[in-house]
C-alpha cells in the first residue's frame, strides 16, 4: 500500500486536496471516483504506509492540533456528518502533515472504524489522552463537547509551554554566546597578548600569571577537554538509557537548586489539569491515572503514580496516596482532599492546575529577571579580570620607564 496526494473536484465543483491510500495510482483514482471525487492531479508521496507514519506524519505542533480539534468540534456541533467534517478540517491544514493524517482517519472511518480507533493508528500525533477522551465522547454521544474540551486543554498546554520556553530562551542563548566568546578569547586572543607581556622581561603580577597559565592550558589541551566533554555526554546518555539511570536522572531533575522545584510545580500543574480534563469528560479515575502516568514523561513521577494507582484500586481515595508518595507538593494532596469531601474533585484539580501554572510563571519571570543581571555580572567579572591581568604589567612597565 502506498500514499498518493491528490487534487480533485467534488460533485458540486469544489476543489479538494488530500491523501489517499491505495495499491497503485489507478486504484487510487478509482477509490476517489467511488467517493464522488474527480481527480485532476495524483502523485505518490514516495513513502509506504509504515514509513509515512514514522516520518511524514510526525511534525504536528500542539497549537495546530488544538485549532483543528476546535474546528472539528464546531462542525460536529452544527450537525455536519463526521466524515465531511474530517475532510473539511483536513483541507484547511496548509502546514505540516495533519491534513494528510486526518484524510487517512476519514478513510478509516468510512471503512467502519470508530473515530478513536482511527486516531489510535497515529500515536505520534494523537496521544492516549486524546483518543481516550474521544472514545468517551463517542460512547456518550457528546463527541462535539469532548472535542471542544480537548481543544481548550491543548490550547492551554501549548500556551503555557510556549511561555515557559520563551522565558528560558534568552538566558540560555546569552550563556552560550558569552561562554563561546570567553573561550575564544582565552584560547586564541589572550595567548598572543601574553606572549607580548613575556617579552617585557619583568616580574609579572599574580593575576597575569594565573591568566597566562589558564590560557596556555586551554590552548594546549582544548582537544582533551573536548574529548572529555564528549565522553561524559556519551557515558551519561548510555547510563540514562538504563532503567536505573533514567530513574536517577529523572529524580535529580527535581533536586537542582531553583529550577528543580519549578520543574516539579510544572509537572504538578500538568498532572492536575490532565486528570481534571479526563474526569470532566467521563473517564474513570483509574483510567485517568493510567493515562496521565504515561503522559508525564518522567520515570520518577511515573513510579510514584503507579503506587498511587494501586492504592486507589484497593479502595483508597486519591489525596492520601498522593500525600504518602512524598513526591508531589503537599498542597496537591490537601486541596485534592477538599475536592473529594465536597464532591468537586475535577473542579478542585482545575484550580490546583491554575494555581501552580500561575506560580510557575511568576517564579520563572522573577528568576529570569534575577538571572539576567547575575549573568551580566559574572561575564563582566571574568572580562574585567582578563583586562586587569593584561593592563597591570603594562602599567608596571610604564612606571619603571618613568
The three grid cell numbers given for residue 332, joined into one nine-digit string = 496537591
Domain architecture of the chain: domains with CATH: 1-56 (no CATH), 162-402 (1.20.81.30)
Instruction: Give the pLDDT score at 2.
Output: 61
Q: Which of 305, 286, 285 is nearest to 295 (CA)?
A: 305
Dihedral angle, C-alpha 187, 192, 194, 195, nearest 10 °:
130
Distance (Å) of CA 253 to CA 94, 104, 116, 263, 264: 38, 39, 35, 8, 9
Distance from chain centroid for Cα 258: 20
Please, which contacts does 31-38 make with residues 24 or more away whose CB atoms are closer than 8 Å? 32/6, 32/8, 35/110, 36/10, 36/11, 37/6, 37/8, 37/9, 37/10, 38/8, 38/9, 38/10
Q: Which of 213, 218, 210, 208 is nearest to 388 (CA)?
A: 208
The whole-angstrom separation of Cα 153 and Cα 389 is 56
Distance from chain centroid for Cα 194: 46
Instruction: Give the pLDDT score at 53.
Output: 42
**pTM for this prediction:** 0.65
Furthest-apart CA atoms within the chain: distance in Å: 99
Instruction: Give the pLDDT score at 400.
Output: 59
The whole-angstrom separation of Cα 147 and Cα 85 is 13
3-state percent helix, strand, coil for the chain, nearest multiple of 5? 75, 5, 20
Q: Which of 68, 61, 142, 139 is nearest to 106 (CA)?
A: 68
Instruction: Give the pLDDT score at 56.
Output: 43
Residue 380 three-state SS: helix
Instruction: Give the pLDDT score at 90.
Output: 85
Instruction: Give the pLDDT score at 227.
Output: 93
Q: Where are the beta strands (DSSP E) in 261-315?
A: none
Q: Are 233 and 249 in contact (CB under 8 A)?
A: no
Instruction: Give the pLDDT score at 401.
Output: 54
The three grid cell numbers given for residue 383, joined into one nine-digit string = 572580562
Instruction: Give the pLDDT score at 176.
Output: 83
Instruction: Give the pLDDT score at 351.
Output: 92
Residue with cell 589572550: 190
Instruction: Give the pLDDT score at 52.
Output: 41
Grouped pLDDT means (10 residues each) for the chain, 402 residues: 70 73 72 78 57 47 85 89 87 77 86 87 84 82 85 79 74 80 76 73 80 80 87 90 86 84 88 87 86 82 91 90 90 91 90 89 81 82 84 75 52
End-to-end CA distance of the chain: 89
Residue with cell 489510535: 120
Amino acid at each position: 500500500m502506498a500514499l498518493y496526494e491528490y487534487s480533485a473536484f467534488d460533485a458540486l465543483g469544489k476543489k479538494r486536496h488530500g491523501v489517499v491510500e491505495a495499491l497503485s495510482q489507478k486504484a487510487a483514482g478509482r477509490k476517489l471516483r467511488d467517493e464522488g471525487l474527480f481527480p485532476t492531479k495524483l502523485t505518490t508521496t514516495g513513502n509506504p504506509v509504515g514509513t509515512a507514519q514514522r516520518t511524514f506524519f510526525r511534525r504536528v505542533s500542539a497549537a495546530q492540533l488544538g485549532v483543528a480539534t476546535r474546528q472539528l468540534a464546531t462542525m460536529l456541533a452544527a450537525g455536519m456528518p463526521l466524515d465531511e467534517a474530517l475532510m473539511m478540517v483536513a483541507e484547511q491544514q496548509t502546514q505540516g502533515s495533519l491534513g494528510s493524517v486526518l484524510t487517512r482517519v476519514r478513510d478509516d472511518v468510512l471503512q467502519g472504524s470508530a473515530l478513536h480507533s482511527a486516531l489510535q493508528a497515529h500515536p505520534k500525533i494523537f496521544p492516549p489522552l486524546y483518543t481516550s477522551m474521544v472514545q468517551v465522547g463517542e460512547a456518550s454521544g457528546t463527541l462535539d463537547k469532548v472535542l471542544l474540551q480537548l481543544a481548550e486543554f491543548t490550547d492551554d498546554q501549548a500556551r503555557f509551554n510556549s511561555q515557559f520556553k520563551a522565558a528560558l530562551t534568552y538566558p540560555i542563548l546569552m550563556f552560550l554566546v558569552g561562554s563561546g566568546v570567553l573561550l575564544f578569547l582565552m584560547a586564541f586572543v589572550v595567548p598572543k597578548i601574553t606572549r607580548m607581556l613575556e617579552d617585557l622581561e619583568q616580574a609579572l603580577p599574580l593575576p597575569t600569571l594565573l591568566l597566562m597559565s589558564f590560557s596556555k592550558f586551554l590552548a594546549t589541551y582544548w582537544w582533551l577537554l573536548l574529548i572529555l566533554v564528549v565522553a561524559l555526554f556519551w557515558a551519561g546518555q548510555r547510563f540514562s538509557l538504563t532503567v536505573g539511570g533514567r530513574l536517577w536522572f529523572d529524580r535529580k531533575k527535581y533536586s537542582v537548586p531553583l529550577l528543580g522545584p519549578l520543574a516539579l510545580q510544572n509537572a504538578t500543574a500538568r498532572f492536575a489539569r490532565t486528570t481534571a480534563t479526563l474526569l470532566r469528560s467521563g473517564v474513570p479515575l483509574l483510567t485517568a491515572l493510567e493515562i496521565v502516568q504515561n503522559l508525564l514523561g518522567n520515570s520518577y513521577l511515573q513510579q510514584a503514580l503507579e503506587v498511587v494507582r494501586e492504592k486507589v484500586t484497593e479502595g483508597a481515595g486519591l489525596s492520601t496516596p498522593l500525600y504518602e508518595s512524598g513526591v508531589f507538593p503537599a498542597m496537591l494532596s490537601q486541596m485534592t482532599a477538599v475536592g473529594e469531601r465536597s464532591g468537586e474533585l475535577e473542579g478542585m484539580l482545575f484550580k490546583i492546575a491554575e494555581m501552580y501554572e500561575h506560580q510557575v510563571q511568576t517564579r520563572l519571570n522573577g528568576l529570569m529577571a534575577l538571572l539576567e543581571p547575575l549573568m551580566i555580572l559574572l561575564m563582566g567579572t571574568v572580562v574585567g579580570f582578563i583586562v586587569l591581568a593584561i593592563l597591570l604589567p603594562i602599567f608596571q612597565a610604564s612606571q619603571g620607564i618613568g
